[in-house]
Amino acid sequence: MFQTLSEWVSATAVTLSGRYGVNPVVFGLLYFGSMPLFALSLAWWLRRWRGGGSTTLPALTTGLLFVGAYLYVLVAGRNLPLWVYVFMGAMLLLGAVTTWRQVQAKRAPSDR
């Protein structure tokens, strides 16, 4: 079963890659490779915010790491269907709301 599933994923990735011009390996590397850097930049942003310093550069860095893989799809992709844009918008909105809630929770002084 696992072999059948992996063959289907591979065939689908190759087909979609050729059709839309987006390399799934590059997307995966950008997406998963940016996660540790995103976490570090988010911690940097929180430290600056808590300390009352300038948060412009940490916020820009965090934002760029957050959208980097999706920017690749928008730049490299061609003839993408509308649902891809809707899906990416929904994913970005959900991720932004979740991240903002985490920032707010960590910024607030703990009552523990």
3, part of any domain: no
Interval 63-77 mean pLDDT: 88
| Tally of domains in the chain | 1
**Residue 109 clears pLDDT 90, i.e. is over it:** no
Summarize pLDDT for 38-47 with one digit per residue, the tens: 999 999 988 9
53, part of any domain: yes
Model-level pTM? 0.66
7, part of any domain: no
pLDDT confidence of residue 20: 82
13, part of any domain: no
9, part of any domain: no
Q: Tokens 């809630």 map to which residue?
A: 101
Q: 100-106: long-range contacts at Cβ-Cβ below 8 A with a sequence spacing of 24 or more?
A: 102/42, 103/42, 103/45, 103/46, 103/49, 106/46
112, part of any domain: no
**Residue 89 clears pLDDT 60, i.e. is over it:** yes
C-beta atoms surrounding 58 within 10 Å: 20
- For residue 38, which of 73, 69, 63, 17 has the smallest C-alpha distance? 63
- 7 is written with which tokens? 């063959």
52, part of any domain: yes
pLDDT confidence of residue 78: 87
Residue 112 pLDDT class (50, 70, 90 cuts): very low
User: By residue range, what is the domain housing residue 69?
Assistant: 22-107
2, part of any domain: no
**Residue 111 clears pLDDT 70, i.e. is over it:** no
Interval 80-94 mean pLDDT: 87
